[in-house]
Amino acid sequence: MKLKVRYFFGIFFLVSATSFSMSNGYELWLNYNKIADEDLRNEYRSNLQTIYLEGDSDTHLAIKKELQMGFGGLLDTEVIFQKYNGTGNALIVAKYDDLPQDFKTIVTAEGLTEEGYVIKTAQLKDKSYVVVSSKGDIGLLYGTFHFLRLLQTHTPLTDIDIMEMPKVDIRVLNHWDNMDRSVERGYAGFSIWNWHTLPGYIDQRYIDYARANASVGINGTVLTNVNANALILTPHYLEKVKALAEVFRPYGIKVYLTARFSAPIEIGGLETADPLDPNVIQWWKDKTKEIYTMIPDFGGFLVKANSEGQPGPQNYGRSHLDGANLMADALEPYGGLVIWRAFVYSEHDPTDRAKQAYSEFIPEDGKFKDNVLLQVKNGAIDFQPREPFHPMFGAMPNTPLMMEFQITKEYLGFATHLVFLPKLFEEVLKSDTYRKGKGSLVAKVIDGSLDNKKLSGMAGVSNVGTDINWTGHPFGQADWYGFGRLAWDPYMDSETIADEWLRVTFGNNDKFVELVKQMMIESREAVVNYMNPLGLHHIFDTGHHYGPGPWVGNLSRPEWNPVYYHKADDDGVGFNRTKTGSDALSQYAPEVEKMFTDLETCPEEYLLWFHHLPWDYTLKNGRTLWDGLGLKYQEGVDQVRDMIKTWKAMEPYVDKDRHHQVSMLLNIQLKEAIWWKDACMSYFQTFSKMDFPKEMEAPEHTLEYYKSLKFPYAPGIRPRWN
């Protein structure tokens, strides 16, 4: 297979460079458009006349091709690779052990991990060089991508002195892709994995997908939906997975698979999947050995069990601990990991869905095998536009917790709304758990530093599909990019990420970057305002989650109904999670519990998440809660109008196709923001019995009209043809 992979490496840059126009977004942030500033371009050419690249692995070949594409595009020049000869004005790209001896006194690899790298300007015998070095091949690849990003962002080459290492070990995309190529909560077309044509046909997208992920440091991909299909573990499909693994390997990307807990029954012919049954234990050991025989660097299993109808160990009276450790034992000889999702809730818990994961997993702290990570959503409900951080973070000092963010916008307007999600991610990561006093940030839980964990991870539910620009909305690319950057360094700020992404994707005009960056940073707050202000949550229409449905209350399980979460009545609105309510706040550290419990200190953005308050409750601005809701909904609508104005003014700086595409999507976003405002305020008025605030535009239709709207073919759920 090695020759086949090399063959594709030999052709993919030609395809990427010639088959897609510069304006359709296919090339993502790796477009390498020619630097328009001729003086800067000539300065780069002068300082980078030749490239010394040492090594002949598949990863080195990928580095060489990336440099050819990057230099050829950005500098519009022929790329010359040659041996080191001391003439200067060269780029040196080599692992530390392979550096010319002269540079080993200038560049140090001390403290570097295999994925870390240095980029350094070097003066040697009055000659100038830029050195990219690492201990390992993949670190060298990451350093190369970073160096090309420096050129894309017009960074001066003088006095560069960069040392970077990822702060998080496992940095993966979770694809909720079904094997029929539908994508659960996918809004950018079908799955990019064409299982029918694999392994014989390697789609160009697989290679460009690997490049994009490696460029931001993502080192793993879970190919299949957490609502798993056992067929992926059969030999027929493992051959296909093997083909993808061979494409991804030179880019440092491991493949993971979702393991259906009932697979021993469904494809193994056993009568049980009981994790303590000897035959089941042996079946998983044999299946794991089979996988590693085909894919020696297989990452491991991601498991969703006993949640939303998925089978699991509780079917047999066993615990999540029993299930996770069963698979951990099978994977341990090969260095594989079990990523066990903590997203569990049951209709049998009548108190509060937000409490269940904590209640089930906290007692098991320290009992999981060393190769188990618990994957925990950023909040305790389900990827809402705003949630307080999950109380499990910091509460399991002896178990690695892996962050799960959602990059796809299930609850954030799908791929028609511009919402810059790294702002949400940053908010969560910078939240203080207080588990070891002030400064016990969620980011410190995730990178393992709070409790000296040996293993750390971050996952993002992918927003990638077959749309030509990968993510549907052109700005959806920023969410994928930003996730990768924050998985690499969870302490980055979202404004830096937005600035960086705009420059590598659209260009370096400072006026454009500053105005659009501000629009991106404010976009997340806008969507919270026009969907779920003041701590409202999960009031989306049922099933497809497209649009508002705060009136839905007829579903079979209480926690599936929006009325369960807002609890609106004549007395007020909101979910009481204090000691006088569900007491979910007791799951946080005492300092956090006290802050959220006290109405004087509870941030108003979380007010109705933790409190049921009367409609005439006085907010900090002196207005009633009822008025405050209306004003927030209106503010969200007005913020989208401001986004439209900003984007219209950017027309001179953006290619026609993408400018028109974003303009159309922003107009859809405005229409839907108004819909949210009108439908929700009309519904809540039936309880408040109060007039709309004078600053709020009156609803366009009646409440009955909004209730009557149906969307049987909304995207993001498996098609139902009858």
Which of 472, 515, 513, 479 has the alpha carbon at shortest distance from 494? 479
Q: Is 308 tagged catalytic?
A: yes
Would you state the structure tokens that stand for residue 655, as one six-digit string?
């290619």
Q: Is 382 tagged catalytic?
A: yes
Q: Say if residues 672 and 607 touch (Cβ distance below 8 Å).
A: no
Out of 410, 426, 447, 499, which one is annotated catalytic?
410
Dist. CA 25–CA 20, nearest whole Å = 9
Is 203 in a helix, a strand, or coil? Answer: coil
Q: Say if residues 12 and 208 touch (Cβ distance below 8 Å).
A: yes
Buried b (16+ CB within 10 A) or exposed e, 10-31: eebbeebeeebeebebbbbbbb
Bridge partners, residue 402, by sequence: 375
Which of 91, 99, 85 has the alpha carbon at shortest distance from 46? 91
In one-letter notation, the amino acid at residue 308 is E
Counting every residue, how long is the chain? 722
Q: Is 410 tagged catalytic?
A: yes
Where helices occur in 76-159 by DSSP H, the ranges are: 137-152
Is 123 in a helix, a strand, or coil? Answer: strand
Q: C-alpha angle 227/231/236, rounded to 5°? A: 145
- Map tokens 């260009």 to a residue: 507
Out of 164, 208, 352, 382, which one is annotated catalytic?
382
Residue 235 preceded by cis peptide, ω within 30 = no
Torsion of CA 197, 199, 203, 207, to 10 degrees: 160
> What 3 state SS string does 417-483 have?
CCCCCHHHHHHHHCCECCECECCCEHHHHHCCCCCCCCCCEEEEECCCCCCCCCCCCCCHHHHHHHH
Would you state the structure tokens that stand for residue 288, as one six-digit string?
């794991």
Out of 97, 180, 271, 308, which one is annotated catalytic?
308
Alpha-carbon distances of 276 from 316, 577, 580, rounded to whole Å: 9, 37, 41
Q: Work out whether strand 161-164 and strand 117-124 pair parallel, antiparallel, or are unpaired.
A: antiparallel
Handedness of CA 77, 78, 79, 82 (dihedral sign): negative
Which of 173, 174, 319, 297 has the alpha carbon at shortest distance from 247? 297
Active site residues: 308, 382, 410
